[in-house]
Amino acid sequence: FIYIPEFPIIIYKVCKYRYIANAVRRHLEYIHTIISAEEVNTIVKKIDAIPELIRIRNGLDKFPFPLPTIKPIPYIKAPKTNGLGCNKCSYIIQDQRNI
């Protein structure tokens, strides 16, 4: 995991994805089941010790997302462009079955 102080999120280098703090445990327990419970607890404790992180999804509402003109955030894979967006909110999904 990587923390870049300019961004209040955690980046997981293995998946090349960003997470809010409270989503890390679930991701590790359900996707990376090979990681021991003890190691998951250690990782979560270290992440919890970073006070600047966004912890819950609603916290993203106050996050000023970078302009498209800045360089991509290191370690995160490029965004996908084949999503479906809600006309009433900012929700985006790739698979209609998950709507």
pTM of this prediction?
Answer: 0.73
Give the total residue count for the chain.
Answer: 99
Residue 83 located in a structural domain: no
The pLDDT of residue 60: 85
Sorting pLDDT into bands at 50, 70 and 90, what band is 99?
Answer: low
Domain interval for residue 43: 2-71
For residue 72, report the phi and psi dihedrals to the nearest 5 degrees: -60, 150
Instruction: Please write the tens of the pLDDT for every residue from 16-59.
Output: 998 999 999 999 999 999 999 999 999 999 999 999 999 998 88
Q: Is residue 42 included in any domain, yes or no?
A: yes
Total domains in the chain come to: 1
For 77, the token pair is 């894979």
How far, in Å, CA of 74 to CA of 18, rounded?
11
